[in-house]
Amino acid sequence: MSYHITAVGRPIAVGASVVKQVESYGASMPVREKTLLTAVVEALSAELLQFPPDQPVRLTLTGSQGSAYVNGKTVDGSVVNSMNVQLEPLYGFVDG
């Protein structure tokens, strides 16, 4: 399974949006993948609280889960996760 989650706005709203997006994957996401993603989102939610409340931010998470490949062959029974996380403050943001 693969996923792409993104939110742009004030830190608290971004955190809430990302949590809701992760929850929307529900039962369709493999357990190990959802466990990893949930742990990362919890850490990011805590980090978002460190930003000034009116500082616009962008948070993007992308990832997938699949089998491992070694020397061009699938490793039987293997499951590996790949994830990219980007959290950035946005400067020069015009609001209103």
Structural contact between residues 28 and 1, judged by C-beta atoms closer than 8 angstroms: yes
DSSP alpha helices (H): ranges in the chain?
11-25, 31-48
- Per-residue model confidence (pLDDT) at position 25: 80
Partners of 4 in the β-ladder: 62
Locate the domains of the chain by residue range. 2-89
Residue 39 C-beta-side C-alpha neighbours within 13 Å: 7
Better pLDDT: 44 or 67: 44
Q: For strand 2-9 and strand 80-89, is the pairing parallel, antiparallel, or unpaired?
A: unpaired
Q: Rounded to two decimals, what is the model's pTM?
A: 0.84
pLDDT average, residue stretch 61-76: 84
